[in-house]
Amino acid sequence: MVYLAHDLEDGYHQTRDMAAVLNIPGNYLGKILQLMAHHKLVESQRGMNGGFRLARLPEQVRLYDVLKALDTLPTDPACPLTTGGRQMELCGLHRRFAAITRQYLDFLRGTTLQDLLVDHTIPASCPGHIPATDPLPCPEHAGRQLVVLT
């Protein structure tokens, strides 16, 4: 989806071309794109100049929409400490899981494809591993861009 958002002016993109650039199996990508089309996030067109393109502007597509099309999103997590039934008050662990779930869903609802676009980089590229303990990119990776030679 970020790939398609990055190249709005190029019209339709063929699955095989996207799969090659993104280094993922074409059949798998095709199934994902069909799901996106079913949920009206992308448009598809058959034929020589066909392929897939975004159905909406990048600022109108939330990560929540994309992930909801692919899978069930968490709601209220089940408490791992209960043996059955709902408790009147959430335990400490359940409260933490519920808070993380709310933060995750808020992040997905508040982030659009436009937010993920970075000028002058390959779409959907990542500058590298960021340690899980760092909430923000370290200075070593800040502003780093992926260069692909063809």
Q: Is 48 contained in some domain? A: yes
* DSSP string over 75-121: -SPPPTT-SSS--SS--HHHHHHHHHHHHHHHHHHH-BHHHH--TTS
Across 60-69, 108-117, 133-142, least confident range: 133-142
The answer to whether position 124 is within a domain reads no
Q: CA 55, CA 61: separation in Å to the nearest integer?
A: 9
Contacts of 55 (CB under 8 A, 6+ apart): 40, 41, 42, 43
Q: Is the pLDDT of residue 31 over 60?
A: yes
Q: Domain for residue 72, yes or no?
A: yes
Domain range for 33? 2-116
Cα–Cα distance, 52 to 14 (Å, whole number): 6
Report the pLDDT averaged over residues 20-48: 92
The verdict on residue 21 lying in a domain is: yes
User: Tokens in use for 33?
Assistant: 């794109």
The string of pLDDT tens digits covering residues 36-59 is 999 999 999 888 888 999 999 999
Q: Which pLDDT tens digit goes with each residue over 80-107? A: 666 566 655 667 777 788 888 889 999 9
pLDDT of residue 119: 62
Number of domains in the chain: 1
pTM: 0.69
CATH number of the domain encompassing residue 26: 1.10.10.10
Of the candidates 17, 20, 22, 28, the residue with the CA atom closest to the CA atom of residue 2: 22
